[in-house]
């Protein structure tokens, strides 16, 4: 094999490598789009469940205001309430809030549920739960949302 033939084979291998890299980049892009789609569908389903649970909680405790969360921190909802406590001539402002949201899509391919609960100026919990998108179990997320809303309701009822 002379130099000219070896040179042509080297060029052919380089072209083949470039084509293979383009194909795998296209496959990664498709996979990334699939992950985004899975995250988006799960986010929609979970935010609907969050809204239902928080609105039911508001039915039992009048005075809470509902807010939808749609920003760079994620999607979800919060309920909040300000109360006034008068005790021995002093007036205290008592703040209560429950926030549940789904974090935005990340390159880690996770779905992340974030919860913060405050009752009468005292934070009772700040938690998050996440799963890989490929191992996603929406029922476990729904159960956690239910559990955290029930825990907040019990704490608020005990403090009121």
Residue 141 has pLDDT above 70, yes or no: yes
Q: What's the domain range around 133? A: 3-159
Q: Does the model's pTM come out above 0.85?
A: no
Domain count within the chain: 1
- For residue 135, the model assigns a pLDDT of 87
- For 17-63, the pLDDT digits (tens) are 888 787 766 546 658 888 999 999 999 999 999 999 999 999 999 99
Distance CA 55, CA 77 (A): 10
Contact 104, 132 (CB under 8 A): no
Nearest-CA neighbor of 50 among 117, 120, 132, 149? 149
103 with 87: CB under 8 angstroms?
A: no
Percentage of the chain lying above the pLDDT 90 cut: 66
State the virtual CA torsion across 125, 126, 131, 136 in degrees, nearest 10.
60
pLDDT confidence bin for 101, thresholds 50/70/90: very high
Answer yes or no: are the C-beta atoms of 100 and 106 closer than 8 Å: no
Tokens linked to 40 = 């988006």
pLDDT band at 10 (very low <50, low <70, confident <90, very high): confident
> What does the CA dihedral 16, 17, 21, 27 come to, rounded to 10 degrees?
50
Phi (first) and psi of residue 93, to 5 degrees:
-95, 125
């Amino acid at each position: 094999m002379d130099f000219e033939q070896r040179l042509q084979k080297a060029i052919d291998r380089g072209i083949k490598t470039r084509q293979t890299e383009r194909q795998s980049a296209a496959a990664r892009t498709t996979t990334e789009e699939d992950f985004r789609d899975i995250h988006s569908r799960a986010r929609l389903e979970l935010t609907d469940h969050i809204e239902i649970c928080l609105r039911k909680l508001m039915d039992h405790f009048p005075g809470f205001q509902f807010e939808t969360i749609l920003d760079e921190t994620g999607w979800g909802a919060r309920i909040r309430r300000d109360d006034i406590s008068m005790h021995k001539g002093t007036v205290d402002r008592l703040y209560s809030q429950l926030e549940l949201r789904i974090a935005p899509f990340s390159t880690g391919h996770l779905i992340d549920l974030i919860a913060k609960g405050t009752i009468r100026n005292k934070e009772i919990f700040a938690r998050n739960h996440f799963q890989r998108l490929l191992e996603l179990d929406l029922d476990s997320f729904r159960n956690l949302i239910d559990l955290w809303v029930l825990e907040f309701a019990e704490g608020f009822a005990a403090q009121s």
